[in-house]
Amino acid sequence: LACQTCDANLITIRQSGAGSKPMDGDVTELINGCAVRKFTCLGDGAYINILGKKKSISSIEDGGTGSASCKASCNAARNAWSIGGVVVSAVACGVAVPVCQTCASPLITITQDGEFTKPMDGDVTEIKYGCAVRTFTCQGTNAVLHVS
C-alpha cells in the first residue's frame, strides 16, 4: 500500500520550557495498511503540543486523567505524518508546573550592607519535594545570614 510507512524522523519530539519532559509513549502500528503513530504523555496536567512547519496546530490536554495522547497518520505519499489532515512537524510532551516551582530569583534580594559583609558563598535553586527550594550559604568564622 502507498501509505504503509513513513520515516519516524519526519516528526521531531521536542523538549523545552517549564514542564517539558520526554514522551512516555511513541508507538507505530499498521491500521488498515497505513502506519499510525500514537504519542502518549503522562503526568499531572499532561499535555501534548502539536506543531506544524511554522506554528502550533493544537494542544491535547489530559482532562484531569493524567494521560494525554494523539495519533498521527502516514500520508499516501509516505512523506509526512498528519493529524486531522494537517501535516505535523513536531510534538512536545509536558506537565503542569506547580506554582511553587515558578518563583523568580529576584523575589529575594541579596544585599551587602555594612563593613563586615561579603558576597554569598552559595545561592542555589533546585526542585525538592516537587517545589523550588532556594538555599543560601555564608561561610566563615561566626558567619551570619540576616533575613528580613
Q: Give the closest residue to 83 by CA, choosing from 36, 41, 24, 30.
A: 36
**What pLDDT is stored for residue 130 in this prediction?**
66
Instruction: Please state whether the predicted TM-score (pTM) of the whole model is above 0.95.
Output: no
pLDDT greater at residue 123 or residue 54: 123
Chain mean position to CA 50? 13
Question: Mean pLDDT, to the nearest integer, of 104-132?
Answer: 81
For residue 147, the one-letter residue type is V
Between CA 95 and CA 20 the distance in angstroms is: 6
**What pLDDT is stored for residue 94 in this prediction?**
93
Q: How does pLDDT run across 82-110, given as a tens digit for each residue? A: 998 899 999 999 998 777 777 777 788 88
Query: Reduced to 3 states, what is the DSSP secondary structure of residue 101?
Result: helix
Between CA 60 and CA 78 the distance in angstroms is: 25
Domain ranges in the chain? 8-94, 99-137
Beta bridge partners of 68: 41
CA angle 115, 116, 122 (to 5 degrees): 130
Burial tier of 108 (Cβ tally within 10 Å: 0-12, 13-18, 19+):
exposed
